[in-house]
Chains A and B, each alone.
Chain A
Amino acid sequence: MKTNIFTLLLLILCLSCSKERVLPVLNNYIDENGITKSYLINDYHFTTQLGNEFTIENTKGKVYIANFFFTRCSSICPPMREKLIDIATTINSKRFILTSYTIDIKNDSVSVLNKYSEGTTISKDKWFFLKGSSEELASISEKFRASFTTYQNSNDFYHSSYVALIDTKQQIRGFYDLLNNEAVILLKDDINLLLNE
């Protein structure tokens, strides 16, 4: 009996000592005066693949991931899309959504985005393909720490394979390279971590 109580106490002690993994808040930054500032991802206005409005109301209380792409992209977008389909089917929570912002606002019309969306077989209320004005796009990409450029003398774009992970408080909690299998495994763990926060 004494041994059991001792084991139980030891277990409680171990559990209380073990550090819980916490994801950093990455929408904090240090300004030119060395002061830590922060911003939220809460002011945006985009159009979905169904032609509906997409604003803060769509992400309230949700954990979501955000990436940039364009439908004509034949280099890194197809493998990124496969990974996103995998994530969308693995994470079943209704509190989790995916958002993909097109950087080719000239060619990616709402109907093009809708067709692209249908190719994923993921529900249109789970994965939002979004189009906005160039100003909205520039603003949201800066907030998500993304950057993209147009290739010289062409209609193609260079963009990264990273996604940002955003929590229910509109804060960025991580960046993950979709072309890296270890990063995708970690991303799934971190989505579940935020869903249980």
Chain B
Amino acid sequence: MTLKKWYKIIFILFCLLLTLGIIYYSNLSNRHQAIVKTYILHSLNIIDSEWTKGASSQNIQLTSPTFRIDNIYKSMEGPKASTYYTLDTQKDDLNWMTAFHIKATEPNTNKQLTNDLVCHFNIDYQDQEHHGRWNLLERINKQYPRLLSLSHGIENINFPKGFGYPFFSNEKFFITTQVLNHNINDSVFNIKHRIDIEYTKKKTLKPLYPKTIYMMLPFKMDIINNPINQIPVNSCIPVETKNHTYYNKAGETLSGHWKIFKEEKKYTYNATEQLAIQDTVTVHQIIPHLHPFAKKFTLKDKTNNTIVYTCDVINHVNKIGLTNTPSLSSEKGIIMYPTHQYELELITKNTLNEPQDMMASLFLFFYDKELDLKIKKYNNEN
């Protein structure tokens, strides 16, 4: 066979593969297209693929790789990036995280952009490492090791005065940040996410213990592809069942990510089991995670008939987005009891004709008495 024929065959094969690739890509969901697109752009170095990490004596700074925004990206759909972070691998001294901030920036000028482009920033501790260092082994594998999540509507958090999250300089954390874009569909542009974590070495702080609770709604796996009017009344329409499906003790399927329709609707969820409060505790910080069209989110003490926390959500007026989802921060704290029943109540109001995605989580921070005693003794010895 002549060289010319070989070139012809290679060219046809290339065209065939390219066509198959384009067909495969166009059949992917918006979320998976964003993953593929970001991977290609980063791998080919078309946009910056590296994290920038730095730290001063009181501040940790992380700047994400560049993300390209070329589409509408609802929650959990946009380009994202993850990295591990350790403050100083050569030191083993104790520090305290006290405040967290995230903002969207323009990559070349570092100028701040609208925070409507921030879906969330998660920071996870390493379960075995964090609890193992304090020999609190019974805490390992009890819950997902998320320290916190800042999201659209709540981009800055300061723990109450005198409280912090203890960590060692050589402790490893896993950081993830993801892009959101509900509104801009007429331009293509790049952004970065800038994360700032304030920390201190003060020995007088009290430790906080993080716990995440989230609303889950029942659904039947076999109705996922049914037309909307054939969905049973007591079932939600789940979103991304691969990542957000849970099972209760009765084996029923539950979703933590579901669709809401054009109406005002109230959802309730018994959060007692998720809270798993063992002793009387005080909660000092509560951070909500909600999606646009959430209206009010409340944690109720059903036994006392009191409200632990309520969040009156402010939505944008002329576009989709959350202006503010207020958090709770209290030096004094609010008492929660092991014998009480607790309920999450969410009111949503979708003002559009299109169904919208909803999630509703709370990141609670309790005073960690057990760890506080250990830290005091540790400080006396060091």
Interface residues of A (CB under 8 A from B): 19-24, 26, 28-36, 142, 144-148, 152, 158, 160, 162, 164, 174-175, 180, 182-183, 186
Stretch at the interface among B17-25, B83-91, B332-340: B83-91
Question: Is B137 within 8 A of A142, CB to CB?
Answer: yes
Cα distance A162–B89 when bound, in Å?
21
Known pairs A22-B89, A28-B133, A182-B84; list 13 more (Cβ under 8 Å).
Answer: A20-B90, A22-B90, A22-B170, A23-B89, A24-B89, A30-B374, A34-B376, A34-B382, A142-B137, A145-B128, A145-B137, A146-B140, A182-B82
* Interface presence of B14 (CB below 8 A): no
Beyond A26-B133, A147-B137, whether A34 also contacts B171 by CB under 8 A is no
Q: Mark B187-224, 1 if CB is under 8 A from A, else 0.
A: 00000000000000000000000000000000000000
Given contacts A26-B133, A33-B381, contact A147 B141 (CB under 8 A): yes
Nearest CB in chain A: distance from B278 CB, A: 17
Chosen A-B contacts, 14 in total, with CB atoms closer than 8 Å, are: A22-B89, A24-B129, A30-B134, A30-B135, A32-B135, A33-B377, A34-B381, A35-B381, A145-B128, A145-B137, A146-B128, A175-B126, A183-B174, A186-B84
- CB contacts (< 8 Å) of A146 on chain B: these are 128, 140
Q: In the assembly, what is the distance between CA of A158 and CA of B83, in Å?
A: 27
Residues of B close to A34: CB separation below 8 A:
374-382
Q: B128 touching A164 by the CB < 8 A rule?
A: yes
Q: B133 touching A29 by the CB < 8 A rule? A: yes
Chain B residues near A186: list those with CB within 8 A. Answer: 84
Give the nearest-CB partner of A175 in chain B. B128
Q: Given that A175-B126, A182-B82 are contacting pairs, would A24 and B380 also be in contact in the complex, using a CB cutoff of 8 Å?
A: no
Which residues on the B side are within 8 Å of A160 (C-beta)?
127, 141
Q: Which residues of A contact B84 (CB under 8 A)?
A: 182-183, 186
Distance between Cα atoms of A175 and B103 in the complex (Å)? 30
Q: Digitize B1-33: 1 where CB-to-A-CB distance is under 8 Å, 0 elsewhere.
A: 000000000000000000000000000000000
A30/B133 contact (C-beta < 8 A), A21-B89, A182-B84 known: yes
Residues of A contacting B90 in the complex (Cβ-Cβ under 8 angstroms): 19-20, 22
**Known A34-B380, A147-B140: A19·B128 in contact at CB below 8 Å:** no
